[in-house]
Structure 1
Amino acid sequence: MFDFSDLLEEHSVPFVAYEKRDGDWADNGDWVPAGKLVPINLKGAIFPLTKDDLQYAENGTYSEKDRKIYTTHVLEVGQRLLYKNITYTIQGMEDYSDYMDINIYYARWAGDESSSG
């Protein structure tokens, strides 16, 4: 298996992932009720999609506002992310787990047309 974690760390940026909790204690010691979305600070490399990525995929058509995320963290389809004050939704992933130690996700832009960025 290829170890890309050092290369990933070099190009990583902070982003926030929102996780639904099943009713447990948060990192700060507060109780989080079931179903509540909790922001989690993560890091990963976030890139615009390539021309090949922009072609029709099984999840639908992507746009130039969508992103590709490389991270060691496990994300879920449908999970919301916040990066540079723009919200994205995980649409799919490329499974290379047999070959490398990072996960690759496609994130669809979920902002509105009037927002900047």
Structure 2
Amino acid sequence: MSKQFEFADFIEEFQVEFTAFISSGKNGWDRESGDYVESVIEPVQTVGIILPLSEDDLKYAPQGTYSEKSKKLYVLEPMELNQEIEYKSDRYVIQSFKDYSDYADVYIYYAAWRDKEGSEA
């Protein structure tokens, strides 16, 4: 059965480029060398729709979680919670996921604005 709401064409029409910082996820001891290996954060160019949060989004968000600088992100590929993205020289952290996967072909996330000075990537 196909999804009731298909947004892929909409995303392709209105997409913007942004950078997603993806972790290699390889923390731990290397069996061959015996050395501890830390995860590497790689910047990857990706696309999606990035929108400001609506009044309703801000109204129903847990107190203090989002601000007017926060964004709503529509993408075709899944992202990780706490993953960082950069758009128009601003850094954001993916904080929540709205699961409409039973009904739509997009992933919807809320991303909180983050001060670049506090960033590790």
- The residue aligned with 1:4 is 7
Inter-partner Cα distance in structure 2 for 1:34 and 1:21: 9
Contact between 1:55 and 1:61, CA under 8 Å: does it hold in 2? no
> Counterpart amino acid of 1:44?
G
- RMSD, aligned α-carbons: 1.9
Q: How many residues align?
A: 104
When you count helix as a share of all residues, which structure comes out higher?
Answer: 2
Alignment CA distance shift 1:19-1:49 (3 Å) = same
TM-score, normalised via structure 2 length: 0.79
Q: Which segments of 5 or more consecutive residues in structure 2 lack a partner in the other structure?
A: 27-36
Structure 1 portions without partners, runs of 5+:
24-32
Judging changes above 3 Å, is the alpha-carbon distance between structure 1 residues 73 and 59 closer, same or farther for their aligned structure 2 residues? farther
**Structure-1 separation of matches of 2:60 and 2:38:** 37
**Is residue 49 of structure 2 the alignment partner of residue 45 of structure 1?**
yes
Q: Which runs of 4+ in 1 moved over 3 A?
A: 58-61
State the identity as a percent: 43
Distance across 1 between alignment mates of 2:8 and 2:63: 27
TM-score where L is the length of structure 1: 0.81
Rg (Cα) greater in structure:
2
Match of 1:20 among 20, 23, 40: 23
